[in-house]
Structure 1
Amino acid sequence: MTGFIEGVQRSQTSLFPDQLDDWIGGDDLVRVVDLFVDELDLSGLGFNRAMAARTGRPGYHPATLLKLFIYGYLNRIPSSRRLEREAGRNVEVMWLTGRLVPDHKTIAEFRRTNGDAIRKTCAQFVKLCRRIGVLKGDCVAIDGSKFKAVNNRDRNFTKGKIASRLAHLEADVERYIDEMVRIDRQEEGEVRSERVRHLGRRYGRIRQEIDRLKEMDKALADAPDGKISLTDPDARAMATSARHSGMVGYNVQSAVDTETHLIVAHEVTNKGFDRDQLSPMAITAKKALDRDKLHAIADKGYFSGNEILACQEAGITTTVPRPATSGNAAKGMYVKADFTYDAERDVYICPAGEELTYRSTREERGVQIRRYWVNGCQTCPMQSRCTTGTERRITRWEHEDLVDAAIQRLGRDPDPMTLRRCTVEHPFGTIKAWMGHTHFLTRRLKNVRSEMALQVLAYNIKRMVALIGIQRLMQAIQV
């Protein structure tokens, strides 16, 4: 008697061997993956070789490889090499694939060649959530987050980075030349020869680096956006929220349902700003939710008159704060927000009670801007806090009533910006925690989009399990 619970002897045989199915519980998440993929129309989604070929060597069914990938992203195993190892030792994966062990090249090639179909599969799960009645809200929060690419910062080039690097290298060249002249004059013997040879070698390496950077500078002239990344050509240098920092990566956009926190739409871009992404994301979310009208909330980085108007024309109400572009408020001076607009009379009323009347309209950056001003500011006692000119002028976008309505919504309770932060930042944090302190595994934008689609699909599956449970989800899939 040892006093401990003892395991089975490794050499012990069993008269009736266990079935794989006996090792998988009825409420195991792997059963959701198996059932979901089996219910998909893989041929309709566009997966390669969904129909068996009459001739040639048989290949793996796309359902097998898709199940393998979904399982991998659900369990933080995105690497094709790691998935190959799991297929040979993980009981859940053995059950899922029927004890097939595809090699890592086959696994990676499946993800590379079926990108569009994988993204459609992610959309199919959102459609399933809507069909079973979980997604029924009319409000989404939109945000973007930067994700690292394979590309290192030292292998990303712009005109400014090359100019700065060349300036430092040219200074090093001058320093080495001066040092060699000094050694030649002041030192003698073997020590002098060795130091000169050492400096000569370093000088040669610097000259090679200067020549390489100059060639890169010439290549930048042909780059469409003036940027080159050597490891991942589609990755771009992007600023992050941390001060004086940045990364080479991609900008991932998402629209999250404020009620369930499910990601209803997402996209990956290599643009470092969010300003042009409001209407594309909101319209995609509206289609995914199949609603006639939608309310979209975003932060000030998405503020754009044209984007707000495009959303309005698509039946989408947007709440986006206007960014502060003037520093006058910090100086104690009046800003545009201190002027009241009278829509019926089409005038602005200044803090002193004077009316700024409409004067003219002109086009600026593709939008119509109306201009208002008042004469007599020189005799106003508040002029020093209002303007340094002879009259105070106010501009108004022709559709600024949409912005005014958004400002009114921002003042309501609950605060839309608080709702946005509590909704859209959680999925990004969860996915980044799953990825760890690493980067996308694939290169090029189309492949990164496939990888992100698998991350989003894994997040949504786990979120649905948290909302309704595994058994209800499986029953809904089979309906």
Structure 2
Amino acid sequence: MARYKHIDTNPRFLPIDLSRQLLPGTFEHALNHLLDHEMDLSNLDARFRNDDTGAPAYPPALLLKVILFGYSRGIVSSRAIERACREQVTFIALCGDHAPHFTTIADFVSTLGEDISRIFSQVLFICDRQGLIGREMFAIDGVKLPSNASKSKSGTRADFERQVEKLEAAAQAMLARHQHADKSSIEAGLEAKAAQRVASLEREAAQIRQWLSAHPEERRGSKGSVRKSNRTDGDSAKMATSKGVIQGYAGVAAVDGKHQVIVEAQAHGTGSEQELLMPMVEAIHGLITDDSILTADAGYHSEANLKALDAMGVNALIADNNMRSRDERFATQDRHKQQPDPLYNKSAPDDGKRLYQARHFSYDPKHKTCICPAGKKLYRTGSNCRINGYAAIKFQGAQRDCLPCTHRDKCLRTPDKTKTRQVAIFLGKAVAESHTDRMKRRIDSPQGRSLYGRRLGIMEPVFGNLRHNKKLNRFTLRGRIRVDVQWKLFCLVHNIEKLAHHGYAQ
């Protein structure tokens, strides 16, 4: 019978040279060389006060090594990183057999703050020095990720006030029931559970009251509108995604088209992508040249953004919501879309009701008058209106004509609520061309379609690497500053991988 050597997968002692575990061409080798020989981390020395007294601290380079290498392997938990520094050879080689405590790792990440921007800029400078940034095309896009916050604890101040009133009323009702009940007929265990429930309701109500006193003002958007606040993470926001509504942050990245290097990364607690375009453009404005082209999808399109880009002299291609409907290549796209599930289709059912359209109203261009289908004359409410780049005249019916009219069901969508009908008569294209009109003409040209088509190949590999390979499926920290640090750390991993793949430090 054949005999084989015993394979011991758990040897006690191994003669290992730790420096030889970091093989040239790998991510860990590039990371080790970068932080030991290229990076200036002197600004991180200010956080230590142990020159004369106190224990020696872990070098910031060591902490960055194990954190970034952990992120590259999808390990985000500080406890898991500490365990890996004791058990995995590559982690041991990076930290020199010094396993930092998980509280040290967590505190380092949470307090990086603005220092992460300086570290990101230094890595970006090295990428530029290695020739990885072409400055020909920059693509901007974002990904919405859940945060370490409870979606059920979101709302306006009015929502929270109603919620606390319900909690207090429920607690009082439970107390009243037990006071009137015969205590002899209530088991001791049930009575204790009821008391715990009342205490829980009162405790939650007290927490909401405390939050309301600490936040006397509503959270406002960029245009002054009221936004829902979250009592777990006040900087996060509710965002609509293809998977439903999440409570989280939008991680935005600007990517160079030559080698998909991330040149800027920001995390924001808002689902409105239009607000995020200009901060990204201003951050990368130093990299943009006269020959550079900036691309972004329809989520970042607005007349204000296009006007600001034109004022800055930035050559951009930003799609609008109707770009694909104007492209003959997407004429058959509807047949490939998934049909809505009738069990979960929440759209209003079609009741077959057909309302009067603008074409059913008689407009006299000579006298600028309008007659409704019932034969009543409408009065003019606006003569020089512009709607989506088209000149229009607005008309509205009089209450004395509309209220007793027998055509209300055919003229008004909600005849029980709306008193009079309004209609806009379009006169054609406005004389003054808007920035949106010029952008449509540029992006619909053969050259514009060809250039804009490159955007998908620039952005999607980056997000695929971060989401799938690095297992970035949620942010684990709270607060915009800390989430921004975590988003930049993942983007740093992506950029250092680019350096390693192109022969850096070999």
Q: Say yes or no: TM over 0.5.
A: yes
- Trace 1:434-453 onto structure 2 (pairs within 5 A): 434=469, 436=471, 439-453=474-488
Aligned partners of 1:262 and 1:463 also within 8 Å: yes
The question of 1:262 aligning with 2:295 is answered: no
Deviation of the 1:32 alpha carbon: 0.6
Deviation of 1:18 after TM superposition, in Å, equals 3.7
Contact 2:41/2:61, CA 8 A, preserved across alignment? no
Q: What SS does structure 2 have at the residue aligned with 1:60? A: coil
Displacement of 1:108: 2.1
CA contact (8 A) 2:466 2:472 kept: no
- Once residues 156 and 485 of structure 2 are traced to their aligned partners in structure 1, the CA distance between those partners, rounded to angstroms, is 27
Name the CA distance, whole Å, in 2 between partners of 1:373 and 1:78: 56
How has the CA–CA distance of structure 1 residues 445 and 191 changed in structure 2, closer, same or farther, with 3 Å as cutoff?
Answer: same
Aligned residue for 2:266, secondary structure, equals strand
Greater RCO (Cα-Cα under 8 Å, separation 6 or more): 2
The DSSP-based 3-state class of the residue aligned with 1:124 is: helix
The answer to whether the 8 Å contact 2:146/2:246 transfers is: no
1:141-156 to 2 correspondence within 5 Å? 141-156=139-154
Structure 2 match to 1:403: 436
| Deviation of 1:267 (Å) | 0.7
Moved more, 301-310 or 19-28: 19-28
The separation in 2 between residues aligned to 1:318 and 1:168, in whole angstroms, is 52
Q: Encode CA deviations 1:196-251: one digit per residue, 9 max, x unaligned.
A: 9799766886677667656656665434436443333x43232222375232x212
Among candidates 51, 55, 60, match of residue 52 of structure 2: 55
Q: Distance between the aligned counterparts of 2:83 and 2:304, measured in 1?
A: 51
Matched to 2:496, the amino acid is: I
User: Structure 1 residue 191: deviation in Å?
Assistant: 6.0
Q: TM-score, normalised by structure 2?
A: 0.67
Counterpart position of 2:426: 392
Q: Secondary structure at the match of 1:39?
A: helix
* 1:428-467 equivalence runs, <5 A: 428-434=463-469, 436=471, 439-466=474-501
The verdict on how the C-alpha distance between 1:393 and 1:98 changes in structure 2, with shifts beyond 3 A counting, is: same
Secondary structure of residue in 2 paired with 1:127: helix
**Aligned match of 2:505 in 470, 474, 477?**
474
Match in the other structure for 1:231: 232
Aligned to 1:283: 282
Amino acid at match of 1:256: V
Q: Does 1:37 align with 2:71?
A: no
User: Structure 2: which amino acid aligns with 1:59?
Assistant: A
Deviation at 1:90, TM superposition (A): 1.9
Counterpart of 2:504, as a letter, is L
The 1:119–1:13 alpha-carbon spacing in structure 2 relative to 1, beyond 3 Å, is closer
SS in 2 for 1:316: coil
Q: Alpha-carbon deviations, 1:415-439, whole Å to 9, x = none? A: 5554333432332343233564853
The 5 A counterparts of 1:295-310 are: 295-310=293-308
Residue in structure 1 matched with residue 340 of structure 2 by the alignment? none
After superposition, the Cα gap between the structure-2 partners of 1:198 and 1:7, relative to the gap in structure 1 and judged at 3 Å, is closer
SS in 2 for 1:115: coil
Deviation track 1:254-278 (CA, whole Å, cap 9, x = no partner) reads 1122342222211111122111221
**Quick one: percent identity of the two aligned structures?**
21
Structure 2 residue 120 is matched with structure 1 residue 89:
no
Deviation readout 1:81-134 (Å, 9 max, x if unpaired): 222222222221222222222222222222233332222222222222222222
Question: 1:319 touches 1:406 (CA, 8 Å); kept in 2?
Answer: yes
Q: Contact conserved, 2:18 with 2:93, CA < 8 A, in 1?
A: yes
Secondary structure of 1:222's partner? Answer: coil
What stretches of structure 2 of length at least 5 have no aligned partner? Answer: 221-226, 323-353, 360-382, 395-410, 412-420
Q: Calculate the aligned-residue CA RMSD, in Å.
A: 4.5
**TM-score, normalising length: structure 1:** 0.70
Match of 2:99, as an amino acid?
V
Shift of 1:142: 1.2
Contact 1:87 1:94 in 2 (8 A): yes
Matched to 1:238, the amino acid is K
Q: Distance in 1 between matches of 2:494 and 2:425?
A: 56
Q: Secondary structure at the match of 1:252?
A: strand
- CA 1:415–1:126 in 2, change beyond 3 Å: closer, same or farther? same
1:68 aligns with 2:66: yes
1:283 touches 1:311 (CA, 8 Å); kept in 2? no
For residues 361 and 148 of structure 1, what CA distance do their matches in structure 2 show? 42
**Unmatched 5+ residue regions in structure 1?**
325-329, 336-358, 376-383
Residues 265 and 204 of structure 1, relative CA distance in 2, 3 Å threshold: closer
SS in 2 for 1:58: coil
Q: 1:276 to 1:397 in 2, by over 3 A?
A: farther
Q: What is the CA-CA distance between 1:143 and the residue it aligns to?
A: 1.5
